[in-house]
Chain A
Amino acid sequence: MNVAGGIVFQVLQSVLVLLLAPLMLGWVNQCRAWLQNRSGAGIWQPYRVLHKLFHKDAVLAHNASPLFRATPYILFGCMWLAVGIVPVLATSLPFAPAADVIALVGLFALARVFVSLAGMDVGTSFGTLGARREMMIGFLAEPAMLMTLFTASLISHSTSLATIVETLGQREFVIYPSMAFAAIAFLMVLLAENARIPIDNPSTHLELTMIHEAMVLEYSARHLALIEWAASLKLTAYITIGIAIFVPWGIAQAGDWAALPVALAALLLKLLAAGAGLALLETLSAKMRIFRAPEFLGTAFLLATLGMLTHFLLER
């Protein structure tokens, strides 16, 4: 593998995902609108929102600290780095050795800590409430996420996502029952971490039920735009981690130009399917009471643990 090719692939992937992420959010929203018999705002709506927000003047609270200003950039940076590490288009990217799956979870945790601190920074009650809820969801979701990733790591004997993809995607097809458990657990964590419906409603206007939205109520203009963009990047990052672990077929090697069109087509198809599936899931389920969330995430942790146990029982 030549270094230049790797760097080109890295830049290509990072920019592509950065531009695709709002589209992904738009696609999910559009699917939801169709399923709910609404006409919807179109899949380009997130870009319009971003455009609008970037052209507005930012308003800051008088007592906002530098942390409050810095958080959107840190959040955006974390999420962009995350999608650079995940093998979305190609494995063995130059960024990939920077972080394995555990460090990736740590990266998400870093973003979460900053958003929560920023939520509490201005001192409004809703921000504090949202931050507390977010931390509660986070500390329950993280172990489940790690257990899911450990199951995949046990199978491929590596915690590096690139190696996991190479092991699972590029050798002969084997059914791993433990991955069925891990997939369901991962899906539950994805819903919880990205503030999707059973845990949090992303389109709610009722402050008392908000989790993620409550923390960013005080943001406006370019800060809000960055946060929204980061949220769509996070959703895309989680979906692509899911793709990398559970349906890794078609991901190219860095520098392999011949495999690129296939990888791109496969990625788009998988993202389309994942978005439609997510919308379907969100339409079919109702938002839970916040006190049911520990039970939901406890189930996710349990399933991930079961996955590991079945791996030891069935696949050794």
Chain B
Amino acid sequence: MNLPFYAQLINLCAALLLLLAFAMLTQRRILSLINLFALQGMVLVASTLVISYSTDQSHLYYSALLTFVLKVLLLPWILHRLIRALKVRWDVETVINIPATMLIGIVLVIFAFNLAAPISEIAGTVTKSTLGIATACILLAFLMMITRRKAVSQVIGFLAMENGLLFAATSATYGMPLVVELGIALDVLVGTLIFGVFFFHIRETFESLDIHHLEKLKER
């Protein structure tokens, strides 16, 4: 195996992203979950920078800057404020226990790797082999959204899924056009703000953030 050095760096970033996705999946504390999310954003920024430098795609620099401001600084800050205001620092409750979640996670990873293998074969980018990892990150974040009971960790799962999508886009096609990326970034930001307001409403109505209670909202 003799990949150029930057391709090795990108692969390393991809592996770190996968590692962080698993760490988030198995994390019990909300505070650490937010920190892990910020770290994942940081790795994403690093990988975007390496890709943009090695392929001379100047618009990816803006993308990296946008990711840094939004996912490393702004969103974690908002989430930290939120959990302080909501006083939710307790352990995360999961629907399935953590070891079982990990096993499902590894099945998902194998599935994603197999799914991405034929696509990677025909792709011409230097980052083609990381597509499988990006798919795995998306699926793992999805799994996290499914297995968590509390609204805050579900939102973090949603944001992590967006991280995975962005990574998939940069690794498969050297990133989306800047307009699209700006749009997505704005969506995520506004989404988080709305979720924040929503949390307060859920808690006021049910005195808990457990979305299990939402099942009672049926009209009779």
Q: Which residues of A contact B (CB under 8 A)?
A: 174-175, 177-178, 180-181, 184, 294-295, 298-299, 302-303, 305-306, 309-310, 312-316
Within 8 A of A (CB), among B149-182: none
Inter-chain CA distance A283–B19, complex, in Å, is 24
Q: Are B106 and A313 in contact, CB atoms less than 8 angstroms apart?
A: no
Q: Are B12 and A295 in contact, CB atoms less than 8 angstroms apart?
A: no
Q: Are A302 and B133 in contact, CB atoms less than 8 angstroms apart?
A: no
Using CB atoms, name the residue of chain B closest to A316.
Answer: B1
Q: Is the interface of B mostly helix, strand, loop or mixed?
A: helix
**Contact pick for A302, options B1, B15, B22, B130, CB 8 Å:** B22
Residues on A with beta carbons closer than 8 Å to the beta carbon of B22: 302-303, 306
Using CB atoms, name the residue of chain B closest to A315.
Answer: B1
Given contacts A306-B18, A309-B110, A316-B1, contact A174 B102 (CB under 8 A): no
Inter-chain CA distance A82–B26, complex, in Å, is 34
Given contacts A175-B12, A180-B15, contact A306 B99 (CB under 8 A): no
Residues on A with beta carbons closer than 8 Å to the beta carbon of B130: 314
Inter-chain CA distance A298–B102, complex, in Å, is 8
Residues on B with beta carbons closer than 8 Å to the beta carbon of A313: 113, 129, 132-133
Q: Are B15 and A298 in contact, CB atoms less than 8 angstroms apart?
A: no
Q: Are B110 and A295 in contact, CB atoms less than 8 angstroms apart?
A: no
Answer whether residue B32 sits at the interface, using C-beta atoms and an 8 A cutoff.
no
Q: Are B11 and A314 in contact, CB atoms less than 8 angstroms apart?
A: yes
Given contacts A180-B19, A295-B99, A305-B106, contact A310 B133 (CB under 8 A): yes
Q: Are A302 and B19 in contact, CB atoms less than 8 angstroms apart?
A: no
Q: Are B8 and A295 in contact, CB atoms less than 8 angstroms apart?
A: no
Answer whether residue B16 sits at the interface, using C-beta atoms and an 8 A cutoff.
yes
Given contacts A180-B16, A181-B15, A309-B109, 9 further A-B contacts (CB under 8 A): A180-B12, A294-B99, A299-B26, A305-B106, A306-B19, A310-B15, A312-B113, A313-B133, A314-B11
Answer whether residue B39 sits at the interface, using C-beta atoms and an 8 A cutoff.
no
Using CB atoms, name the residue of chain A closest to B105.
Answer: A302
